[in-house]
Amino acid sequence: MPALSSRLRGLLLALAAPLSWSIGGVIIRSVDTEPWDIVFWRAAGHLLCFPVALWWLWGRSAFSDARAVGLPALAVAFFISCTLVFHVLAMTSTTVANVLILQSMSPLLVAVLAWAFLDEKLPLSGWAVLALAFCGLALVIGGSFGGGDMAGNLFALAVAVCSASHVTIVRRHRARNLAVVTLPAAILACGVSLFFANPLTVGLTDIGLLILLGGVQMSLGLTCFIMALRHLPAAEVTLIALLEPILGPIWVWLFIGEEPAATTLIGGAIVLTALAIHVTLAARRARQLPSPA
C-alpha cells in the first residue's frame, strides 16, 4: 500500500481535529452529573492522554520552550484553564449550537487583540468582516432573550475572549512551542472544580465517557491540529476547523434531539461566513508579504 502524500496526510489530520472537537456536546448531554464534575473528569482525561502525545511529538524538549517563555506561559495556562471551565458551564446552560457559534468568534477577537497589543495592522476589510460577524452574534444572542439561557451565552463568549487572549500571547512568542501548558491548565481546572464538585460520586460509566471526552476532544483534537500544521498552510487548517461549529450541533440534533433556533442558524451562518472571509483574506495578505532574504 503506497504511503500517503504529505498533503493528503495533512487533510486527514485537519479533518480529524474538528471531528474530535465536535463530539463534546453529545457526551456532555449524555452524562447525568453536575457541570463541575464534568469539568474535573474532562480535564483529568486530558491529563491522562496528552503527555503521551507530547512525548511522541517532542520528547523531553516539550517542556523547554514553556520554561524559556516564563510568566507569559503561565498566563496562557490560566486563560486555557478558564476556557476549560467556561466551556462546560456554557454547554450545560444553553444549546450546543449557541455555544459553538459564540466560541467561534475567537479568531476575530484575536485580530482585535493583536491590533491593540501587538501593533498588527487591521485593514478596513478586516473591520468590515468584524462588523458582519457581530451582526450574526447579535442575532444568536438576541434570539435568547427571555429564553433562560443568556448565562450560557455569556459563558460561551467568555470562552471566546479567554481563547483569543491566550492565542494572542502565543502569537507574541510564536517561535516557541507552548502546547505543554495545556497540562498545568488542566491541573488548575481540576483543582478549581474540586471546590464545587464531588467527582467520586459520579457513576463509572459517566466517568469513562468524560475521560474519553478529555482524551478525544482535547488531547486527540489538539494533537491532530498541531500535526496538520506540519503538512498544510495554517489558513487552510483553520478553515477546515470551522467544521466544528457545524458538526457539533448536527450530532446533538441527530442523537439527542436538540434543535437549534432559527435565529441561531441564521446568525451562525453569518458568523461562519465572516470567519471564512477573515481566514481567506489573512492567507491572501500572507502570500503578498515579501519573502525574507
> Read out DSSP for 157-198?
HHHHHHHHHHHHHHHHTTTS--GGGHHHHHHHHHHHHTTT--
According to the model, what pLDDT value does residue 292 have?
Answer: 45
Q: Is there a domain that residue 234 lies in?
A: yes
Residue 120 DSSP SS3: coil
* 243 pLDDT above the threshold of 50: yes
Number of separate domains in the chain: 1
What does the pLDDT average to over 76-91?
96
> Measured over all CA atoms, what is the biggest interatomic distance in the chain, rounded to whole angstroms?
61
What does the pLDDT average to over 124-137?
87
Alpha carbon separation from 155 to 112, 141, 143, 184, 244 (Å, rounded): 20, 12, 16, 22, 18
Question: Distance (Å, rounded) from C-alpha 221 to C-alpha 24?
Answer: 11
DSSP 215: I
* 2 pLDDT above the threshold of 60: no
Q: Is there a domain that residue 1 lies in?
A: no
Domain that holds residue 76: 6-288
Question: Distance (Å, rounded) from C-alpha 54 to C-alpha 179?
Answer: 8
Task: Yes or no: say if 193 and 39 are a contact pair by the CB < 8 Å rule.
Answer: yes
Cβ-based neighbour number of residue 163 at 10 Å: 23
Phi-psi category of residue 122: left, alpha or beta, with phi > 0 → left and psi -120 to 50 → alpha: beta
Ramachandran angles phi, psi of 120, nearest 5°:
-85, 130
What does the pLDDT average to over 255-259?
89
DSSP 271: H
According to the model, what pLDDT value does residue 40 have?
Answer: 98
Task: Yes or no: say if 95 and 243 are a contact pair by the CB < 8 Å rule.
Answer: no
Cβ-based neighbour number of residue 4 at 10 Å: 12
* 38 pLDDT above the threshold of 90: yes
Q: Is there a domain that residue 293 lies in?
A: no
